[in-house]
């Protein structure tokens, strides 16, 4: 199939960059830092899991900004989008290949981050009290929430360059940190960079007189219900952006400054 050949070519293009190292090293470093801290922290097990998932959600926009800019800048250096704009395969399928490449690697990296933490927290620190199913569902929710961000940053990288993508990623990470607070109540469902961290937090609750921010797992169905509007908006926004991105790229002829 054409799409598989294009994806294979795109993966090969990134072979001599730090693209793969970022997707492998960042999760591993994050796991080691958090497990190292949790080995002596007096916080509760639930609070530790919530803290790790929050940290994961906060760093995602920055990483997405970096990797999307790397993929697009590689095309720019290779021939100023010559291959992406080629009529041999069609613009649409070339763009789809880029999207799938970053999504595949993003899901791999996220699975490594969550799975690695689960293994370390369960079998090394022996502090885990949550089922594997919980980690699996949260992994899928976090990934679903990031698809919109990936599409947005690919567009930014193509239209404006790596600086815009990375800069926006930093802003999104900082802004999503504010959305964790009461400032985000009632509006987070409509803000893409807030979806991931709020999806996670809505599965946790706080008992009275507790020093931890979150120290109890909410009823699973309740967590899904609270997230329902956010999930709906996430799906609708992502589909709309994907369609608009595809239409826009169909008319894209290269950057004017290039």
For residue 135 the two structure tokens come to 């980690």
For residue 44 the two structure tokens come to 């509760």
Least confident range from 33-37, 74-78, 118-122, 168-172: namely: 74-78
Nearest to 150 by CA among 67, 226, 91: 67
Prediction pTM value = 0.93
Query: Residue 6: phi, psi to the nearest 5?
Result: -65, -40
Query: Residue 219 gets which letter from DSSP?
Result: P
Query: Residue 33: phi, psi to the nearest 5?
Result: -65, -50
pLDDT in the model for residue 83? 73
Least confident range from 11-15, 111-115, 118-122, 173-177: namely: 11-15
Q: Is the pLDDT of residue 30 over 60?
A: yes
pLDDT in the model for residue 87? 57
Q: Can you give the residue ranges of every domain in the chain?
A: 2-250
pLDDT in the model for residue 211? 47
- Classify 172 in phi/psi space as left (phi over 0), alpha (psi -120 to 50) or beta: alpha
- Identify the band that residue 82 occupies on the pLDDT scale cut at 50, 70 and 90: confident
pLDDT tens digits, 182-216: 888 889 999 999 999 999 888 876 654 554 455 56
Least confident range from 45-54, 106-115, 118-127: namely: 45-54
The whole-angstrom separation of Cα 10 and Cα 83 is: 11
- Identify the band that residue 217 occupies on the pLDDT scale cut at 50, 70 and 90: low
Task: Say if residues 249 and 158 touch (Cβ distance below 8 Å).
Answer: yes
Instruction: Using alpha carbons, list the distances in angstroms from residue 200 to 19, 54, 229.
Output: 27, 7, 14
Of 94 and 168, which is predicted with more confidence?
A: 168
Average confidence score pLDDT of the chain: 89
């Amino acid at each position: 199939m054409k799409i598989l050949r294009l994806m294979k070519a795109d993966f090969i293009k990134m072979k001599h960059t730090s693209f793969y190292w970022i997707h492998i090293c960042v999760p591993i470093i994050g796991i080691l830092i958090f497990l190292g801290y949790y080995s002596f922290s007096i916080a509760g097990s639930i609070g530790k899991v919530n803290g790790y998932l929050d940290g994961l959600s906060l760093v995602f926009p920055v990483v997405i900004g970096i990797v999307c800019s790397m993929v697009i800048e590689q095309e720019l250096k290779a021939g100023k989008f010559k291959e992406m704009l080629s009529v041999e395969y069609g613009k649409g399928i070339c763009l789809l290949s880029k999207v799938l490449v970053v999504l595949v690697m993003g899901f791999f990296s996220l699975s490594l981050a969550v799975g690695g933490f689960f293994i370390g927290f369960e079998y090394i620190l022996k502090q885990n009290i949550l089922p594997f199913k919980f980690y699996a569902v949260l992994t899928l929710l976090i990934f679903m929430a990031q698809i919109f961000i990936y599409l947005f940053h690919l567009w930014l990288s193509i239209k404006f360059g790596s600086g815009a993508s990375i800069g926006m990623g930093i802003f999104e990470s900082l802004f999503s940190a504010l959305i964790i607070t009461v400032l985000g109540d009632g509006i987070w469902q409509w803000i893409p960079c807030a979806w991931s961290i709020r999806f996670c937090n809505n599965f946790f609750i706080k008992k009275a007189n507790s020093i931890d921010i979150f120290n109890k797992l909410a009823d699973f169905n309740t967590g899904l219900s609270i997230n329902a509007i956010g999930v709906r908006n996430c799906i609708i926004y992502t589909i709309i952006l994907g369609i608009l991105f595809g239409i826009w790229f169909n008319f894209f002829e290269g950057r004017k400054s290039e």
